[in-house]
Chain A
Amino acid sequence: MKILVPLKRVADPDNANKVKIPASGATIETTGLEWKPNPFDEYALEAALRLTEDGKTPKVRAGEVVVVTFGPKETETTLRAALATGADRAIRVDTTDDKLDGSLVARALKTLVEREKPDLVVMGKQAVDGDSNQVGQILAELLDWPMATFAATLKEEAGAVLVGREVDGGVITLRAKLPAIVTVDLRIVAPTSVYSMKTAPAFKYNDGVRFAALPAIMAAKKKPLAEVKLADLAADQGLKVTYHAFQAPPARKAGIKVKDVTDLVNRLKNEAKAL
């Protein structure tokens, strides 16, 4: 199976509370925060790797995993890291975040999909900087492909994937004939979430995403990484959604520590009037 995995780098999500909005409201400053791969995209890559192997021999790839990112030269670090964990090939679409919106990324990806002809696109359900949750769905519509969003489980079948989607009130299971698009949620990296047709049904992965060993990091430097201009993929680069200002969230007034359960219940009842 050939799988395309779009990846985005984001400001360290575990320190997202350290982003700053200047008084002008003109931008969101992430200065001082490390770049990390968007967690949901990391999970997508892990799912793609699991789908193209038997679990026991992760160095043997059945098929091809191609990763793509949109960004300046520095974002190649994100791509090299993905190559080190097992992806075969990378593509960087040269642009910057401020020139993009969800629709434009989806339209550019559509052209890329038509060139690369993957059987499956696996991507994060959302990037945790913009939290927009839309590129996968728009791409699926532009291609007129079946999609399964917010996937928690993913199993390869002959010419199809069986996907468990976490939705409000339970799990919806869909079967999508290939080619198809899957966007993943965080439980896709649980030990028994993803099985290729080569994986033994009893096989269990370690929880989470895999890490690259040093020799793989060295070898990744030699794997192919192509650069493409955004204009080659999308003729119309107009933005459908534009940001006009940014605001900090309202501050919560400082709370207090109560001394015991009696104090808590008294305050909830008489001060907050919440009981």
Chain B
Amino acid sequence: MGVSGLHRLFKRFAFSSPLCDRCVFGGMKGWMWTALAAACLAALVGCGQAPRPSPEKFSAVPTPEKPSPARPAPAASLHAIDPQGLAAAVASHRGKVVLVDFWATWCEPCKELFPHTVALHRELSSRGLAVLTVSLDDPEDEPQVLAFLASQGANFENFRADSGASSRSAEAFEIENGTIPYMRLYDREGKLRKAFVPPFPPEDVRKAVEGLL
């Protein structure tokens, strides 16, 4: 399941990640790298996802980077998501433990808790933890959402609830008590194992995650 997870991960990020990883392209000759660098660059420019690391990275034989957790840097816009979309995102990580963090820029306790989520991802993604976040913010507040995510180094999949800062979001995503921070934890089979309703100590989340890994 680790292999299929990696495969999916690669498929998803091969053309948006600066890490055209040597272990994947190990058999390639020098001219192939040049061609690939050009293709990668074209894809980057095409998707408007600059700024990215300089193209020199691709022209030389790439030095091996630390194996991913290094996901792409937070994107320039957020995908607005509904509960079905979130279910699909969770399912795409089948084989991993998935933590979903519901938060918002207006929610101070959420922002206080966020570094804990980032730390969990940093420390435990290599053991099979995937993190998704859903912000309950309106579309106009997306710049603040993105700025906060960037400031936190939130290098995982970040979404915005399509119904925004609204009772409708709390209802649609079945957020217990109608209040955030709220977290859901799924096991490697994609089964919901625990929901964290505030107030909860961050250590509880870590313990639960480690228990499932």
A joins B in a complex: no
Which residues of chain A have a CB within 8 Å of any CB of chain B?
Answer: none
Which residues of chain B have a CB within 8 Å of any CB of chain A?
Answer: none
